[in-house]
Amino acid sequence: MAKDKRMGLKEKYAVMTRGLDWETSYQPMDDVFPYDKYEGIKILDWDKWADPFRLTMDAYWKYQSEKERKLYAILDAFQQNNGQLNISDARYMNAVKLWLQGITPLEYAAHRGFAHAGRSFRGAAARVACQMQSIDEMRHAQTQLHAFSHYNKFFNGMHGFAHLRDRAWYLSIPKSFFEDAMSAGPFEFVTSISFAFEYVLTNLLFMPFVSGAAYNGDMATTTFGFSAQSDESRHMTLGLEVVKFMLEQHEDNVPIVQAWLDKWFWRGYRLLALVGTMMDYMLPKKVMSWKEAWEIYWEENGIALFNDLSRYGIRLPKHHEVATKEKGRVTHELWSTLYQYGNALGLHTWVPEDEELDWMSEKYGELFDTMYRPRLLHFRAQEETGKRYFNNRLPMVCQVCQIPVFFTEPDDPQTQCVRIVEWADTKHHCCSDGCADIFNREPEKYVQALIPPQQIYRGEAGGARDIFEYAEWLHLVKDVDTGEYHGSPDHLNWEAWKAELPTPQANSDEAA
């Protein structure tokens, strides 16, 4: 009997990663890999890179195709059984819209970013890991679009996510986050996305959305979430490995990595304000509060992780204590912001129902009861007298995180926090010391930011002169895609479907 010539997994992995690599001789390696030195990261021995999740390309295809078969079988069943009627309430759809508008484009951006990183590193194992993640991210963008496309037949605001992503003020928050990372070098990119975002902060992103989907009867998103889970764990291990690798390779790397961790912790935390607000306000059935999630996933798990890294000379990220001080207010402040600028949102906003306000009182205590509850009840009273509150003006926006400057001072929830930064005699505004630090580290980068209200005032948003013309430029239909939930087509349709009556309102594609 012939000896079995098949290779073992370990051998196969070595042959199909490092075994495919060679030292170039016709061209200098520095010309072949022009991007992996200029950031200042010193790598003495790429062979020390330990890929923690050994997977060859053929095995990768096999696993992923199996997962996709299962995912699409469930999505088919969901569609054929009118799964959209099983969600907790139509208000929940706004969490899905926010994902589609804000997060799915990030998956695609991650695909691009990892493709670039997967070309840039001269270590073959790091390249292969980034290339696989690049393909994962492309799949996540596609499977999310397929999972959500069914909802687009029934609910408004989902018709132009790509157009919206490039124009809408609130989507410049996630867009600018990723473009900041993609326009950095490859080491900063993987530190920002793989480590700071996907390792340190990932539970604050995926747990709320996927558990929120499960709690609220959204089988399409839940199934997608489970399908992506094994990929996410691979991405997390890549994130931890890349940071440890840099720190172990050379002590000069430590201050560079620390500065990136300071920056990307803060940028990631700011981006998560949208997710926290979704958790507290857009989920009719609550999973946990933002404050509780922050306590578990940052104050316990995140800080423990940084303590583990202290042996490399890494300390906790700057301003983490500010993030913790803000945990009881940031979601209420942001919901109030979304509510009042709702004429230019592809989402609906509303004042929560009494039992939800009681849940918030229980979770957020005195500050909620003295400050945010009366504010929300004032908004409700205005709405009941036919004067639903919208802000008439455009907001100041942070030059770094691009969030409207609604945050209050770390120690004073009654005083707005505004920081002024300067570069080449021009002033700019930041929402916090965290963002001001990021600006001051690389001012030439952030002065280029396209800030939506400034763009409108300069006449560069399709010539829009007010918020309604701006919404038209976003391809949003007034009071159909935008504005108040109560009385919206989404609301009226939902009530009719639950009472088994005919659909009363056309969707925005037909209305437009």
Partner 1 sequence: MTVKYLGESYEFQSENREERYGGDFNFYIQWHKHLMFACPSAYRAPGTMIMRDFMEQMFIPDYAQHPDTAHLDIEKLHWQLDHKDWQPDLDKSFADNGVGHMSYLHIRSPGLEGMHGVGN
Q: Is 408 in the site for partner 1 (CB under 8 A)?
A: yes
Q: Is 441 in the site for partner 1 (CB under 8 A)?
A: yes
Per CB under 8 A, the list member of 39, 68, 248, 509 interacting with partner 1 is 39
Q: Which residue stretch of 68-76, 297-305, 439-447, 504-512 sits at the interface with partner 1 (rule: CB under 8 A)? A: 439-447
Interacting residues with partner 1 between 365 and 404 (CB under 8 A): 370-371, 374-375, 378, 382, 387, 389, 391-397, 404
Main-chain dihedrals φ then ψ at residue 275, nearest 5 degrees: -70, -45
Q: Is 463 in the site for partner 1 (CB under 8 A)?
A: no
Distance CA 52, CA 377 (A): 52
Closest CA to 98 of 221, 267, 266: 221
3 state DSSP class of 422 = strand
Distance CA 402, CA 287 (A): 28
Distance CA 239, CA 253 (A): 16
Backbone region of residue 271 per phi and psi (left: phi > 0; alpha: psi in -120 to 50; beta: other values):
alpha
Q: How far is the CB of 119 from partner 1 (least distance, A)?
A: 15
Closest CA to 176 of 105, 258, 257, 254: 105
Q: Two tokens at 90?
A: 């139509």
Q: Is 336 in the site for partner 1 (CB under 8 A)?
A: yes
Q: 465-502 in b/e burial notation, b at 16+ Cβ within 10 A?
A: eebeebbebbbbbeebbbbbbeebbbbebbeebeeeee
Q: Is 63 in the site for partner 1 (CB under 8 A)?
A: no
Q: How far is the CB of 444 from partner 1 (least distance, A)?
A: 5
Interacting residues with partner 1 between 294 and 333 (CB under 8 A): 333
Instruction: Kindly report the number of other CB atoms within 10 A of residue 8's CB atom.
Output: 8
Q: Is 273 in the site for partner 1 (CB under 8 A)?
A: no
Distance CA 422, CA 413 (A): 26
Q: Is 448 in the site for partner 1 (CB under 8 A)?
A: yes
Amino acid residing at 90: A
Binding marks (x or -) toward partner 1, 136..175, rule CB under 8 A? ----------------------------------------
Per CB under 8 A, the list member of 429, 474, 491, 493 interacting with partner 1 is 429
Q: Two tokens at 385?
A: 């007298």
Q: Is 427 in the site for partner 1 (CB under 8 A)?
A: yes
Binding marks (x or -) toward partner 1, 4..23, rule CB under 8 A? --------------------
Q: Which residue stretch of 168-176, 408-416, 466-474, 477-485 sits at the interface with partner 1 (rule: CB under 8 A)? A: 408-416
Say what the alpha-carbon torsion angle 167, 168, 169, 175 is, to the nearest 10 degrees: -70
Q: Which residue stretch of 118-126, 246-254, 334-342, 503-511 sits at the interface with partner 1 (rule: CB under 8 A)? A: 334-342
Q: Two tokens at 114?
A: 């990892």
Per CB under 8 A, the list member of 423, 468, 473, 497 interacting with partner 1 is 423
Q: Nearer Cβ to partner 1, position 172 or 227? A: 172
Distance CA 375, CA 379 (A): 6
Distance CA 205, CA 224 (A): 14
Q: Is 505 in the site for partner 1 (CB under 8 A)?
A: no
Closest CA to 433 of 304, 272, 208, 269: 269
Q: How far is the CB of 260 from partner 1 (least distance, A)?
A: 12
Per CB under 8 A, the list member of 266, 406, 470, 485 interacting with partner 1 is 406
Per CB under 8 A, the list member of 5, 22, 458, 502 interacting with partner 1 is 458
CB 253 within 8 A of CB 201: no
Q: How far is the CB of 38 from partner 1 (least distance, A)?
A: 5
Q: Is 512 in the site for partner 1 (CB under 8 A)?
A: no
Distance CA 293, CA 276 (A): 9
Instruction: Kindly report the number of other CB atoms within 10 A of residue 47's CB atom.
Output: 10
Which chain residues interact with partner 1 by CB under 8 A?
34-35, 38-40, 185, 333, 336-337, 340-341, 370-371, 374-375, 378, 382, 387, 389, 391-397, 404-406, 408, 414-416, 418, 420, 423-424, 426-429, 440-445, 447-451, 453-454, 457-459
